[in-house]
Amino acid sequence: MGISQTGKLLGQHNIQSYSYNSGFLLFDQDTDGRCGRRILIDARLANKFSALINHDSKGSLVIHGIKQHKSRGGGINSHSGIGKAQKHMDVIGHVVVTYEIHQSSPDDPYGGIRITDIDIADFARAREPGYYHVQHNNDKWTTNEKPGSSITTKKVAINGKIDKFEQAAEELIPEMVEKAYGDIDAQGFDFFYQPKPLLYRGLRFKTPAQKRTNIFVACDRLARGLLQTQNQGQTIQWVIHGDGLSLFEKALDRLNGQTLDKHQVLIAGLPKQQLGSVIQKMRGYGIQFHDDVIKYNGHDWSSLNNRVLGMKRMYQAIESLGEGYQDRLGELKDQARDDRFKAISGSAGALSNGFLAGSLMIGSMSSDTLMAAGLTSTAYGLYAFTHKLRSLRNITANKLDNAGLNPHMHPFKSTARFNSHVERTYGSQTQSFLALVGYKRGNV
């Protein structure tokens, strides 16, 4: 599209746009940098802009919001790129605007704000950390809008890698709590949410909630709930998903010298920090453990620290819990042996065991290599081929944020049940592989 045509499209919105070099346009005559930052827009966005923004109050709100970036772009209420400091994103009305901020000067026509994309805002607003009350109403799980500062029920969960609040609170975490401690009564449970960076179009953004509330504030809120219920003599059952254990450990550090024997913990999914030392620290506070101590999916290889390198220390820590945990220790050892054997034998015939197993463990296997590896396994028969493909798919998906594919999000499912879940979610095994390739390439 020519620059003149682009100008006409923007002019339909009473935007007086002016041409710059390299395909950028001045967004409007009052965003030329004389008052605040200059705002430019990629000329290729004109059709998209006109399709998304109508001549109504909603459209006017978006245009006004974009112009506000002269002074507010990249501020406390913006999503800011992690590892790409100049990249930012804002939700304005019904659209999301992605832009870059460059140093502005009279000699640099590209200084200031450069809008690089605009699209429908298809993700929910960021939530702040704290205790959210989750209840089952009308056949679905619901949560309150604002977090509380204290624990109000007998069961509490902390999210790990699950990025989306609604998915964690209303789908995945309730299942974990019920699998751990049985049916959840009418009282519901408390969900301590720790915000994760937002993944959008292959980039991670620090959310406004993360900017306003850092990890230290979240730890203090969590620690207050732990101590308050302990002092009240209230028994609390915890489900800590994966890397949520890191936040829990930091909260313990704020309660040095306290006894927390009214709290019982189950770790669901493998965390990145070494489990052996964390279990020993919990014991020092008098924390009790669920009979299973930890539950994880057989294809959860998200933590080499606990599956290979630190496994002995984890076993020693569980053994130190006493006679009542010896059977569980034996189960975990058997599971570890079986999982290692399946991970390696599942790759046999695809590539050499050493290369493939190593690639799987560190999550470096590309989707193209994955597919090629599967194709070379056909000589082992259709059943063996299908089994190997499923194993490769599941272990490769360990790095994804997609709960439909990542076994780390389903610590209570056996590998067979998880395979059924994946294929039910996507309709077929073939479709699940297409989804995996799409996520790896950032197309989904």
Mark whether 269 and 349 lie in a shared domain: no
Q: Does a structural domain hold residue 175?
A: yes
Q: Does a structural domain hold residue 330?
A: no
Mark whether 157 and 286 lie in a shared domain: yes
**In this predicted model, what pLDDT tens digit does every residue of 255-294 receive, in sequence order?**
988 999 999 999 999 999 899 999 999 999 999 999 999 9
Q: Identity (one letter) of the amino acid at 257?
A: G
Q: Does a structural domain hold residue 155?
A: yes
Mark whether 36 and 61 lie in a shared domain: yes
**In this predicted model, what pLDDT tens digit does every residue of 57-115 receive, in sequence order?**
778 888 999 999 998 888 888 888 888 889 998 888 888 899 999 886 666 656 789 99
- The C-alpha R_g of the chain, in whole angstroms, comes to 25
Residue ending a domain, among 263, 295, 327, is 295
Domain that holds residue 41: 3-120
d(CA 148, CA 129): 9
Q: Specify the CATH number for the domain of residue 217.
A: 3.40.50
d(CA 280, CA 354): 34
Residue ending a domain, among 92, 120, 148, is 120
Q: Please state, as a whole number, how many other Cβ atoms lie within 10 Å of the Cβ of residue 125.
A: 10
Q: Does a structural domain hold residue 334?
A: no
Mark whether 45 and 184 lie in a shared domain: no
**In this predicted model, what pLDDT tens digit does every residue of 358-407 receive, in sequence order?**
444 444 445 445 445 554 444 445 556 677 888 888 988 988 888 899 99
Mark whether 151 and 234 lie in a shared domain: yes
Cβ pair 139, 171 in contact under 8 A: no
Mark whether 114 and 151 lie in a shared domain: no
Cβ neighbours of residue 373 under 8 Å, at least 6 residues apart? 347, 350, 351, 356, 392
Statement: residue 443 has pLDDT above 70: no
The tokens of 328 are what? 């569980």
Mark whether 114 and 135 lie in a shared domain: no
pLDDT, residue 217, reads 80
d(CA 244, CA 172): 14
Mark whether 137 and 37 lie in a shared domain: no
Mark whether 211 and 281 lie in a shared domain: yes
How many structural domains does the chain have?
Answer: 3
Report percent pLDDT > 90 for the chain. Answer: 41
d(CA 409, CA 414): 12
pLDDT, residue 355, reads 41
Cβ neighbours of residue 418 under 8 Å, at least 6 residues apart? 297, 299, 394, 407, 410
Cβ pair 161, 408 in contact under 8 A: yes
Mark whether 353 and 261 lie in a shared domain: no
Q: Does a structural domain hold residue 163?
A: yes
Q: Does a structural domain hold residue 260?
A: yes
pTM, two decimal places: 0.71
Mark whether 375 and 271 lie in a shared domain: no
Pick the range with the lowest mean pLDDT from 16-20, 76-80, 160-164, 179-183: 16-20
Mark whether 345 and 386 lie in a shared domain: yes
